[in-house]
Amino acid sequence: MADNSDNKPKSSNSAAPDWTVPAAGTEQVKRLKPAPLTPQPSSPASTTKPKPKTVSFELRIPSHLSKRAEVVLIVIAVFVVGFGGGWVGAAVRHYDGVTDVTENKVELKGEATVISDIAKNVGQSVVSVDVTTQTQSSNSNDTDPLDSLFGLGGGSSGTQTEEDAGTGMILNSSGLIMTNRHVVPDGTTSVSVTLSDGTVYNNVKVVGRTPDSSSIDVAFLQIQNTNGHKLVPVSLGDSGKVNVGDEVVAIGNALGQYQNTVTSGIISGYGRSVQASSSDGSSTENLDDLFQTDAAINEGNSGGPLVNIDGQVIGMNTAVASDSQNIGFSIPINDLTGLIQSVEQTGQLQVPYLGVLFIPITSDVVSQYNLSVNQGAYIPTVSQNNGQATVVSGSPADQAGVQPGDVITQVDGTAINQSTSLTSILDKHRVGDNVSLTIVRNGKTMNINVTLGATPSS
């Protein structure tokens, strides 16, 4: 992706609970352009023609030539029938081809109309998010440039102000907005949003953002006073029904200046895990369970909706592969519904908390740790994690009896695999929910009930 706060394929292995060790890659998909269409010729007017007259005749052949003549006549008849049949068949195929072209033209026109309608209807629920941040920087004006080059420090510290832009989507008529966490990073001092009609709201409140260690890159904003303006919320779809090849539309604030830019494409894959980083490489994060799409996601599009052809939001645009073309990533909306409900009902962002470090299981992980299962979330032992705890003391997981070396294979019957991560399942729940974990321990399967807590602020 790529504006100053908005460049992502990003993860962090900080010592926060429910963080993951990355274990996957990305896939490149090319979409072929359709062949040019040929216009259909106008159909001739229908007329009634008189029936042709029937003429009968008798061909007399001398008896000594009759057998040879019969053979010749049969051959000629077969040739005529074959030629005529082939000509008729070709004519029918040509006619069918013209019909196919007409149908393709109608379908193409219909697709363009659908995208136009989506841009019009969903676009009014998409906002530009303008952010001012302050960060500490080193003032090297009074130092030797070589000190900075070789990391020797020096100079005085100062405050650097930056302005960045992203995208958000309206969730309700009261002015609740959802965007990416990296759009409103730590150090944000002011946020304003601009509606599609040009209306600007200043002093927008940052309700909350997921911890930097979370693989769910989301933040929530609140317009303080709508001034009676009618806000139109997006319609949320069901990302669980999305299939590879489904057509999608991405809407966003491209390059931070072209508001509500619309691009289209397909779902190229799902269940992707990437390690995303900022443009300067100063921060990274693990993002799991993502949609991959070839709909262009440009700088400034972070936080914008990925929409199906019914105009429903099925994802939030988050990251792009910087070294490839048209490989973008979006968070499935089902992974965000629990957080959305939490904010709408309590006015606060409460992220469900289990309290473990886990590794998504792949064939390499199975081999490396000699596991007996090939899917799930593996909690490494302390020795495998360089002496650091993998089950946080006093956490919900610890209190319920989850142990290092366990493999969590299901949550409430939902299997954990490369397309559905443990984090994405937990984030569909709310703080206080009771969940049943299916765990494999020393080759034996058991169920453990856990009451999810709230992620600590530190």
Whether 182 is catalytic is: yes
Whether 64 is catalytic is: no
Full 3-state SS string of the chain? CCECCECCCCCCCCCCCCEECCCCCCCCCCCCCCCCCCCCCCCCCCCCCCCCCCCCCCCCCCHHHHHHHHHHHHHHHHHHHHHHHHHHHHHHHHHHHHHHHHHHHHHHHHHHHHHHHHHHHHHCCEEEEEEEEEEEEEECCCCCHHHHHCCCCCCEEEEEEEEEEEEEEECCCCCEEEECHHHCCCCEEEEEEECCCCCEECCCEEEEECCCCCCCCCEEEECCCCCCCCCCCCCECCHHHCCCCCEEEEEEEECCCEEEEEEEEEEEEEEEEEEEECCCCCCEEEEEEEEEECCCCCCCCCCCEEEECCCCEEEEEEEECCCCCCCEEEEEHHHCHHHHHHHHHHCCCCCEECCEEEEECCHHHHHHHCCCCCCCEECCCCHHHCCCCCECCCCHHHHHCCCCCCEEEEECCEECECCECHHHHHCCCCCCCEEEEEEEECCEEEEEEEECEECCCC
- Name the active-site residue from 3, 6, 18, 217: 217
Whether 302 is catalytic is: yes
- Name the active-site residue from 6, 125, 130, 182: 182
- Name the active-site residue from 302, 330, 342, 421: 302
Which residues are marked as active site?
182, 217, 302
